[in-house]
Amino acid sequence: MRPTTRDRLLLPVLLPVGLLVAIGLVLVGFSRILLSVPKTAATATALVAALAIVVLSSVVAARRVVGLGSLAGLVGAIAGIAMLAGGLAVALTGGVAGEGEGGGGTEVTIAAVNIAFQQTEITVPAGEPFRIRFQNQDAGVQHNVEIFAGAEVSGDPVFKGEIVTGPTEVVYEVPALETGDHAFNCVIHPNMQGVIHAVEGGGGGQGAGPRIQVRAENIAFDTDRIELPADTPATIVFENADVGVQHNIAIYVDDTLAEVLFKGELVTGPATVEYAVPPLPTGEYYFHCDVHPNMNGTVVVGGAAAGATGATGTAPTGATGPTGG
């Protein structure tokens, strides 16, 4: 390479840009590690990485001539130390993102969408640890789940989940709760509230109740009508048979999409996922795929609903909001 080209192009332009890209990639990867471990482990890992940056930068800066190889070696060494520290933190902590002891067999789902919890009533077995699969679907927004000893949000929480920035999913390990109602909220947005019912002899979590099968294939649902029992949690077993295509099931009050009742996570086919649908009052609602709104239909809540019926997904006729409680 000619010296003029190197001095005018490589050093003043390509070198800084390349270093910024490399640093950005390291930061993105490192941030994913920090989000996957408890707060104390994340703090210790970040301090180790910061110390490595200071020490290695001092060593390189002490040289009389700092060349391209030295800078590349500095970035590589810092990245290696950061990833090694993060890997050790994950290995030692198991990647648990909640605070407190837990780890029971029951798992419930709570999703945060549009600064609101989708599931505001959860049932869990009393006296047994359980898991909360928390889905923060608000991009760039921080949420968490705090649980309190009584039916009101007051006093110190008995459990405080790690604050996470969406979109992301984390599993909280929650210690056993005493029999009764326990309020929960988001510490960042206290208006986001709900209640956990801890009951004797089980409870079955949010996914209790009937199981409804729905399949998506060739950019169409196999039904335009989903029947659910009123005021009862249910599970939709959703199969996405379209290879390489994203689908989901989202339930709204009506086709204006003004109020969301449930929003299932997007899944890329072929794949099967179980959606834990919260209790809904009697009425008719609208459902569709958020990626392909032409895939839609009616959710009928009430009566002896036991499963999904119908053929391919077509537009519903006269989807309305709740008609009663």
In this predicted model, what pLDDT tens digit does every residue of 213-249 receive, in sequence order? 999 999 999 999 999 988 888 888 899 999 989 999 9
Most confident of 11-25, 122-136, 249-263: 249-263
pLDDT at residue 4, as a whole number: 59
Q: Report the distance separating Cα 203 and Cα 25, nearest Å.
A: 44
Higher pLDDT, 139 or 43: 139
Q: Say whether pLDDT at 93 is over 70.
A: no
Q: Report the distance separating Cα 251 and Cα 242, nearest Å.
A: 21
Higher pLDDT, 69 or 254: 254
Give, for 263, the enclosing helix (H) or strand (E).
Answer: strand 260-263
Nearest to 131 by CA among 169, 94, 171, 163: 171
- Bridge partners (DSSP) of residue 276 are 235
Q: Say whether pLDDT at 182 is over 80.
A: yes
Q: How would residue 99 be classed by pLDDT, with cut points 50, 70 and 90?
A: very low
Average pLDDT over residues 246-260: 93
For the chain, give the percent of residues with pLDDT over 70.
68
pLDDT at residue 306, as a whole number: 39
Average pLDDT over residues 35-42: 60
Higher pLDDT, 167 or 79: 167
Average pLDDT over residues 284-309: 80
Going 292 to 298 to 301 to 307, the CA torsion angle's sign is negative
pLDDT at residue 111, as a whole number: 85
Instruction: Using alpha carbons, list the distances in angstroms from residue 47 to 34, 40, 43, 50, 52.
Output: 11, 11, 6, 5, 9
Q: Report the distance separating Cα 45 and Cα 85, nearest Å.
A: 6
Average pLDDT over residues 300-322: 44
Higher pLDDT, 306 or 293: 293
Backbone angles phi, psi at 52, to 5 degrees: -65, -40
Higher pLDDT, 133 or 68: 133
Q: Report the distance separating Cα 60 and Cα 62, nearest Å.
A: 5
| Amino acid letter for position 275 | Y
Q: How would residue 291 be classed by pLDDT, with cut points 50, 70 and 90?
A: very high
pLDDT at residue 39, as a whole number: 59
Residue 294 is given by DSSP the state T
Q: Say whether pLDDT at 305 is over 50.
A: no
**Domains parsed from the chain with CATH numbers:** 3-93 (no CATH), 106-199 (2.60.40.420), 211-309 (2.60.40.420)
Q: How would residue 71 be classed by pLDDT, with cut points 50, 70 and 90?
A: low
pTM of whole model > 0.75?
no
pLDDT at residue 12, as a whole number: 62
Q: Report the distance separating Cα 264 and Cα 274, nearest Å.
A: 9
Average pLDDT over residues 36-61: 72
pLDDT at residue 284, as a whole number: 94
Three-class SS state of 296: strand
